[in-house]
Amino acid sequence: MTSKITYLGDLRTECVHIKSGQTIITDAPIDNHGKGEAFSPTDLTATSLGTCMITVMGIAAKNHGIDIDGTYLEITKHMVSDPRRISGIDINVILPPIRYSTKEKRFWRQPAELAQ
């Protein structure tokens, strides 16, 4: 078992990671009958995409001897209704303001160029 999710009532859940015991609380957003006091389930979907992306970047950087400590992502989730769903996720990658070599710059641009 990976996790256990308990419905706490009032559109709130508690998610427990079995191996570590770490917890995450979710709450329905204000615009969908909730209190908006924690990540919504769709917030976690967008955030999970970002954490997966930056983790893979970290693995690739480590394997190539590139320091990306301090890199962060800005995630924007877009919702639509009828039916209510995520319509898009924007991710901005902000690398630390250090001088990257031409080879390192090419390393980060290549996946973007391949996606076009």
Beta strands in the chain, from DSSP E residues, in sequence order? 3-9, 12-17, 23-27, 72-80, 85-94
Model confidence pLDDT, tens digit, residues 51-78: 999 998 888 888 888 888 999 999 999 9
Provide the pLDDT confidence category of residue 116 given band limits of 50, 70 and 90.
Answer: very low
Phi, psi of 78 (to 5 degrees): -115, 130
Integer Cα distance of 14 and 16 in angstroms: 7
Integer Cα distance of 29 and 36 in angstroms: 4
Integer Cα distance of 21 and 19 in angstroms: 6
Q: Report whether pLDDT(90) > 80.
A: yes
What percent of the chain shows pLDDT beyond 90? 70
Most distant CA atoms of the chain, gap in Å: 54
Model confidence pLDDT, tens digit, residues 96-115: 888 888 877 777 776 544 44
